[in-house]
Amino acid sequence: MANSRNKNENKVRFDLNKKMKTLNFGKLIIGGPQTIIIAEIADSHNGSVEEAKKLVLAAKEAGADVAKFQIHLPDIEMVAGKVQMWDGDLYEILKRNLFTSEQHKEMMKYCEEIGIEYLCTPFCPTAVDVLEDLGVKAFKTGSGEITNLPHHRKLAKISAKTGKPVIVSTGMCTWEEIADTVKVYEEEGAKENLILTNCTSEYPPNDYSHANLGLIKKLETDFGVIVGQSDHTMDNYTSYAAVALGAKIIEKHFTLSRQQKGPDHFISLEPAMLKDLVDGIRKIEVALADKKSISKEEQTVRDWAFHSVVSINEIKKGEIFSIDNLIPKRPGSGIPAKFLDQLYADELIGKKAARDLPANTILSWEDVAK
């Protein structure tokens, strides 16, 4: 098994010298300087279009870029009565909350009207056809589909033909299983349209070590794709850290109230929490600047906090400067103190004073004889 895993990893390992391209998703750019924030509405609408519109509007007002839904065809995607969730029988939950294709079309139109991108997760190949017929701009798959290679093969073929991004969550799977999925997209010529999201399929993960945020860089390095974070924690800390580590997408479940009945409400962000997430991420993005320069605000501090060369005692005109008659002191408005160190001392030490200098004088270069 270990040899097989290494073999698969080597097949898809990324050339680090190759620049990763960005992907267009409607009006959004995935992989650019701004993190894409997805509000995962899932089935939190409880089967109501009006409730779904309230959720979409609240997500938009909180600053999210994407409102994500799920499209379920229970009789095709699962065997009835075989999966029990914390909120009851999954088949019955899906039957109770599902939207028809027409209702999804209505939600797509509403998202467009208010200026937020619509995204949807298909849970079977037939659902992929429904979404493609609706004209979606991208696809998202859950972690439960990671080993459903026929499902991904279908998505990869569509992506290769249309250029549509496919966002794939990687919870509850092995590295070898991720490699197999990536290989499908590679074989179909769609790997450049693939995004992997690091994910822990615990609802919620109470042990933060299970978040495995270190995998964000490893996924990017090993597979050569854009990477995001699909986060099921009850707060925003790991999402903030994910952005700092290079995640280009953050996905969080979203609800109007955690007190509502349903399978996902209790692990979802409420509107104020989503707004905090967006605000925090936007601040982190700005803070990740990598250009070292002195800001106007820093210069004000620098002027008093840095040190200048200062005369210890009175120095007469023509007297030679030495480490015995000079000392570094604040403020930093004169000759920089670095000229008292051996790195730069030959430009000052041994030179003569151009005028009489009282004790405690902040030296300027005009005080040094030419």
User: What secondary structure does DSSP assign to 265-292, as a single string?
Assistant: GGGSBPHHHHHHHHHHHHHHHHHT----
**What pLDDT does residue 80 have?**
81
| Partner residues linked to 88 by β-bridges | 85
pLDDT exceeds 80 at position 5: no
Task: Give the residue-averaged pLDDT of 275-281.
Answer: 98
- Confidence check: pLDDT of 222 > 90: yes
What pLDDT is attached to residue 10?
40
Binned at pLDDT 50, 70 and 90, residue 203 comes out as confident
Selected residue with higher pLDDT from 261 and 293: 293
Average pLDDT over residues 186-210: 95
pTM, rounded to two decimals: 0.85
| Pair 49, 100: CB distance under 8 Å | no
Report, as an integer, the average pLDDT of 12-34. Answer: 79
pLDDT mean across residues, the chain: 91
Cβ atoms of 43 and 263 closer than 8 Å: yes
**What is the model's pLDDT at position 6?**
44
Residues 6 or more apart whose Cβ sits within 8 Å of residue 230? 143, 169, 171, 197, 198, 199, 251
The predicted pLDDT at position 148 comes to 96
What dotted CATH number matches 296-367? 3.90.1210.10
Mean pLDDT of 255-262: 80
Mean pLDDT over 74-78 rounds to 79
pLDDT of res. 7: 42
The helix (run of H) or strand (run of E) holding residue 42 is: strand 36-42
Q: pLDDT by residue (tens digit) across 324-369?
A: 999 999 999 999 999 999 999 999 999 999 999 999 999 999 999 9
Q: Measuring CA to CA, which residue among 144, 171, 135, 139 is closest to residue 155?
A: 139
pLDDT band for position 17 (cuts 50, 70, 90):
very low
For the chain, the structural domain boundaries read 2-287, 296-367
How many CA atoms does the CB half-sphere of 163 hold within 13 Å? 7
Average pLDDT of the residues in 80-105: 79
pLDDT tens readout for residues 288-321? 999 999 999 999 999 999 999 999 999 999 999 9
Confidence of residue 194 (pLDDT cuts 50, 70, 90): very high
Q: Which residue has the higher pLDDT, 71 or 96?
A: 71
Per-residue model confidence (pLDDT) at position 90? 73
Confidence of residue 18 (pLDDT cuts 50, 70, 90): low
Mean pLDDT, range 160-180, rounded to an integer: 97
Q: Which run of H or of E encompasses 219?
A: helix 215-223
How far is residue 179's CA from residue 2's CA, in Å, rounded to a whole number?
A: 13
**Residue-level pLDDT at 233:** 94
Higher pLDDT, 128 or 263: 128
- Look at 82-86, 138-142, 323-327 and tell me which has the smallest mean pLDDT: 82-86
| Statement: residue 1 has pLDDT above 60 | no
For 229-238, 243-252, 265-274, which range has the lowest pLDDT when averaged over its residues? 265-274
Which secondary-structure segment (H or E) carries 129? helix 125-134
Per-residue pLDDT at 95: 66
CATH 3.20.20.70 assigned to 2-287? yes
pLDDT above 60: residue 9: no
What's phi and psi for 246, nearest 5 deg? 110, 5
Question: What percentage of the chain carries pLDDT values higher than 70?
Answer: 93
pLDDT at 266: 66
Higher pLDDT, 190 or 86: 190
